Structures are given as structure tokens and as C-alpha cells.
Amino acid sequence: MAQVHAKPKGRVLIIAGSDSGGGAGIQADIKTVTALGGYAMTAITAITVQNTLGVTGVHAAPTEIVKAQIEAVVGDLGADVWKLGMLGSADHVRTVLDAWYAVGDGAPVVLDPVMIAKGGASLLAGDAVEVIRDQLLPIAAIVTPNAPEAEALTGVEVRDLDGQINAAEILVEQLGAFSALVKGGHVEGEIIRDVLLTREGYRVFEGPRIETRATHGTGCTLASAIAAHMAQGSVIEPAVEKAREYLLEAIRHAPGLGQGHQPLGHGWPCKLA
């Protein structure tokens, strides 16, 4: 499986749920890809009712509509990278998987296995975890779980750096992902470490924990930034490095909106232009 197409055009197909508050999900994905110079297309898997205080409702899109969205945009516009976020149910996971095999043309998949919203609401059915682990991970160019998601996918504890490394090894060497970025935001400590495992080996990114309420959509944003860079020709490790830099600045440029987990400042590069 190729990591990038021969002549990338920056086209990212985002398959995820909508966040009415604009901080995560499809909205964060579009903002991120656009800010980084890519072109964002979408297939919406669910409509959520949410704001910075939490999720109060989820309405899943029919699988045939998800499939039709994918076919419509890929058939006309094409896609250099597929970015997968909130899929919701096992049927939705299978629908996306079938569509990738049918019309994906080998496009790299950036898989953000969204399971729980920042406020604690469940965004993935229990039976979908097994389908993601057994069928979706083997086609992923990179999977980007946080610690709880890595635990759910691998069955091992992810409470420290050793746990992150262990989970990354299982995701790549046993479950078949081409690479894995096991994030450390949920791991206690003043230093946050993200562990990247590729076929070339490990890299540990680290930096001081930023004390902020602007944490809504960080996972969506990071995965979409990786996808945007890959869609424009970057291979995985440089894409992750640049995506992390973008995310940290988006946190620092957060607009301070909302009473709960606040959104990021996705448009910060435009302010520097």
C-alpha cells in the first residue's frame, strides 16, 4: 500500500461525525485541512448535538447515505488521503471499509479511532471496536489513538511510556497498521509524550503539558493535520511532526469560547500571513 499518490493534490476525504459546536469532528477537520493548504471533502456519519459542555444527542446517518457521499465525491473529485474519525457503529465501519475497497484506489487511510467525546459521551458502539481492530487497522497508513482508545484496541494498559510503546507494537506488528501514533495526553505527568512507530522504528515526541481549557477537538485536529500533509506529499514521520506543531499553535491561539472544553484556534496560520 502506497503512503501517498504519485501526484498528490492535497485532497482529503474526511469521514466523520458533525460537531454542532464547531470544535471537533467534521468542522475541526475542514478547518484544519483548509488552514494547511489542502482541500477537504466530507462524508458525514452522524449529526451530534453538542457544545463545549458536552454531547446531548447523536443521530446516525443511514449507511446508504454514507456510502453515497463517499462515491459522489471520490467519483468526481478524487481523494489523495482518507481521514476516518467518528464512525459510530459496526455497520458504519463496514460500509466505509467496503467503499474504500471499491473506490478508494489504494488511498492512504489516517484512522483516528474516535470512541469517547471530551465530555465523556460514548461515540462508538462496543461491537464496532472489534471491526475496527480486525478489519480497518490492516488498511490504515497510520492510526492515532489516545491512551484509552489504544487500551480498547490492544487490550493492554497504557498508563506510561512503556505502555504506549507496547500498544504501538501491538497495533503495528500484530494488528497490521502500517504505523501507529499512540498519544500521551491522557497519561499523567508534566511532560506529554506521543509515541510514533513506523516500519523504520520508533520516535518519541515530547513537550511540556499546556495548562488550558482549549482541548476540544485536539485528536480530530491532529489526525486531520497529518492527513493534510500526507495528501500534499509528506511521508508519515514528517507529516506527524508538522501536524503536532500545527496543533500546539492552534491550542496557543485558542479563542477562549465556551464554558467547557473550549475549541482551538484552527485558523492561526492565516493570522500570520
Active site residues: 183, 215, 217-220
Q: Give how far the C-alpha of residue 60 lies from the chain's centroid of Cα atoms, to the nearest Å.
A: 19
How far apart, in whole angstroms, are the C-alpha atoms of residue 257 and residue 262?
6
Q: Please answer whether residues 121 and 89 qualify as being in contact, where contact means their C-beta atoms are separated by less than 8 angstroms.
A: no
